[in-house]
């Protein structure tokens, strides 16, 4: 009898994990396009844990004739690696292109 409960537990756990994975944000970003860097800015963040450098890159892409923007934060001072106009890959949700990200 206990074996049935163990099997049911694993089945239920698999259902929960697959459901969570299916509804995750990344699963909905099934389309890709090319965007262009609009700006890249280095910044220094100070908090109770110390200091860290970040680069905020803003990219623009077009879907269905409408322009969208997405931001990506990288560790370190890397703004010189992302000059304005540089082409980058963008993944987005075809049902809601505002839901987008720059991989990497």
So where are the chain's domains? 31-101
The model's pLDDT over 13-66, given as tens digits with 9 standing for 90+, comes to 988 887 776 666 556 778 999 999 999 999 998 988 889 999 999 999 999 999
- The pLDDT value recorded for residue 22 is 65
Cα four-point dihedral sign 46, 47, 50, 52: negative
For residue 35, CA distances in Å to 4, 11, 100 come to 52, 42, 11
- Cα separation of 26 and 101, whole Å? 9
Cβ count near 4 (within 10 Å): 8
CA angle 65, 67, 71 (to 5 degrees): 150
């Amino acid at each position: 009898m206990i074996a049935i409960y163990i099997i049911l537990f694993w089945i239920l756990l698999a259902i929960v994990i697959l459901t969570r994975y299916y509804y995750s944000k990344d699963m909905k970003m099934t389309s890709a396009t090319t965007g262009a860097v609009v700006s890249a800015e280095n910044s220094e963040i100070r908090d109770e844990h110390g200091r860290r450098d970040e680069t905020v890159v803003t990219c623009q892409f077009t879907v269905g004739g409408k322009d969208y923007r997405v931001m990506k934060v990288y560790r370190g001072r890397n703004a010189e690696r992302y000059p304005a106009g540089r082409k980058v890959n963008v993944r987005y949700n075809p049902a809601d292109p505002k839901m987008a990200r720059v991989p990497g």
